[in-house]
């Protein structure tokens, strides 16, 4: 059965002109882009997306970062696409992310309150369904 996942190119990736490179890597891996849009996130959309983090110290800086510029949202399809994209993205800490991954090759620590790590990818089938509904309702 083909899985679906949501990925977001975060404002730092869009602002740095990395959307094309990120999507190229997704397609080179063999995943299909089923939906794609660039948009400005709303506070309401981000509150739904990051609901499990509300109240944590990094929540508001993360929301502020995600509101700082446009994001690119995509629905990917493919066998084991959730696991595959998360591997392709690399660990959330760009400084130590493995070379060859999106974050390892293209990301770095900018010394700011929030970790600007270029992309988001759903972490489970349930999260993917919920997140796709938020961004593509």
* Catalytic site residue from 120, 121, 134, 135: 120
Q: pLDDT tens digits for 126-135?
A: 999 999 999 9
- Could you tell me the CA-to-CA distances from 61 to 30, 36, 39, 57, 66 in Å, in that order? 34, 26, 20, 8, 9
Instruction: Give, in order, the Cα–Cα distances in Å from 68 to each of 12, 50, 54, 76, 109.
Output: 9, 16, 19, 24, 17
pLDDT at 17: 98
Q: Which two tokens stand for residue 136?
A: 């593509």
Average pLDDT, the chain: 96
Q: Is 120 a catalytic site residue?
A: yes
Q: Which domains, and CATH codes, for the chain?
A: 3-135 (3.30.70.141)
Is 0.85 surpassed by the pTM of this model?
Answer: yes
In this predicted structure, what is the pLDDT of residue 27? 98
Give the other-Cβ count within 10 Å of 37's Cβ: 12
Read off the pLDDT of residues 51-93 as tens digits, 9 standing for 90 and up.
999 999 999 999 999 999 999 999 999 999 999 999 999 999 9
Element (H, E) at 76: strand 71-78
Decide if pLDDT at 112 tops 90.
no
Question: Distance between CA 92 and CA 78 in Å, rounded?
Answer: 22
Q: What pLDDT band is residue 114 in, cutting at 50, 70 and 90? A: confident
The residue among 67, 61, 58 whose CA lies nearest residue 10 is: 67
pLDDT at 104 exceeding the cut of 90: yes
């Amino acid at each position: 059965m083909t899985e679906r996942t949501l990925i977001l190119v975060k404002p730092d990736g869009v602002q740095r002109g990395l959307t094309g490179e990120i999507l190229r890597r997704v397609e080179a891996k063999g995943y299909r882009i089923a939906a794609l849009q660039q948009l400005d996130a709303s506070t309401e959309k981000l509150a739904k997306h990051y609901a499990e983090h509300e109240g944590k110290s990094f929540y508001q800086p993360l929301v502020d970062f995600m509101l700082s510029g446009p994001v690119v949202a995509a629905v990917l399809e493919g066998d084991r696409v959730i696991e595959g994209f998360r591997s392709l993205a690399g660990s959330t800490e760009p400084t130590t992310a493995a070379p060859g991954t999106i974050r390892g090759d293209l990301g770095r620590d900018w010394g700011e309150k929030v970790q600007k790590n270029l992309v988001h990818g759903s972490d489970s089938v349930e999260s993917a369904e919920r997140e796709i509904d938020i961004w593509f309702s």
